[in-house]
């Protein structure tokens, strides 16, 4: 298996977009995230695919997109495994063993001070922590949820429940991680019906 950066190796762009186009027809909880993906792809600093025998197995990217402070990037953005048949533990290796190390190194080359990845809802915190603990370099799982959505035009923090996510950070340089935070028990009280 090899990791290919589609931003650098553009011959993989069309095959990737063809596969992404099929996601909308799946029951994936976030399949809307992949609509009009060609426009979003152009804004990535790096977008990696795992390839084996010319088959694209998984994908994710490094994203800032003016969503975060300019010194911070989200790694493993839009992580997607195209074939889950081999099971969760095999699949999570795409992120922990292959894409995360490449993207951390690439974020360093791009001059970012901090790179993070996230997952929605406190219900997934236990597995999120297990995945983070398997990663090398090992990120720090933050004790609070962080708001990973763009600040709204009026300067307000987007309060949609999907914006509050479990976050693990890896600092490339000493820096602050200023994304808005919320305690897990506060989230559970505010969004108790979810």
* pLDDT tier at 4, thresholds 50, 70, 90: very high
Mean pLDDT of 29-50: 89
Give the gyration radius of the chain's Cα atoms. 16
Q: Where are the domains of the chain?
A: 2-190
Backbone φ and ψ for 47, nearest 5 degrees, come out as -140, 115
Give me the count of residues in the chain: 194
pLDDT value, residue 160:
93
Full-model pTM: 0.91
Q: pLDDT by residue (tens digit) across 46-64?
A: 999 999 999 999 999 999 9
In the block, which residue shows the tokens 């992120």? 95
Q: Are 56 and 19 in contact (CB under 8 A)?
A: yes
CA atoms within 13 A of residue 67's CA, in its CB half-sphere: 16
Tokens found for residue 30: 């976030």
The pLDDT value given to residue 87: 57
Tens digits of residue pLDDT in 69-110: 999 999 999 998 887 666 555 556 777 888 999 999 999 999
Give the separation between CA 58 and CA 80, rounded to whole angstroms.
6
Share of the chain above pLDDT 90, in %: 73
Q: Classify domain 2-190 at the CATH topology level.
A: Aminopeptidase (3.40.630)
- Of 98, 100, 104, 103, the residue nearest 52 (C-alpha): 98
């Amino acid at each position: 298996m090899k990791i290919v950066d589609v931003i650098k190796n553009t011959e993989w762009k069309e095959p990737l977009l063809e596969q992404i186009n099929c996601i909308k027809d799946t029951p994936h909880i976030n399949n809307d995230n992949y609509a009009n993906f060609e426009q979003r792809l152009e804004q990535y600093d790096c977008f990696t695919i795992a390839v084996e025998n010319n088959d694209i197995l998984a994908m994710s990217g490094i994203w800032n997109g003016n969503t975060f402070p300019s010194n911070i990037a989200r790694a493993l953005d839009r992580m997607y495994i195209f074939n889950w048949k081999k099971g969760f533990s095999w699949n999570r290796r795409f992120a922990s063993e292959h894409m995360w190390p490449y993207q951390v190194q690439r974020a360093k080359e791009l001059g970012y001070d901090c790179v993070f990845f996230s997952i929605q809802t406190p219900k997934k915190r236990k597995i999120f922590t297990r995945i983070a603990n398997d990663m090398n370099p090992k990120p720090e799982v933050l004790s609070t949820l962080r708001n990973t959505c763009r600040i709204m035009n009026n300067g307000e923090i987007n309060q949609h429940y999907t914006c509050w996510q479990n976050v693990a950070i890896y600092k490339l340089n000493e820096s602050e991680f200023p994304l808005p935070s919320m305690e897990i028990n506060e989230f559970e009280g505010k969004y108790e019906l979810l």
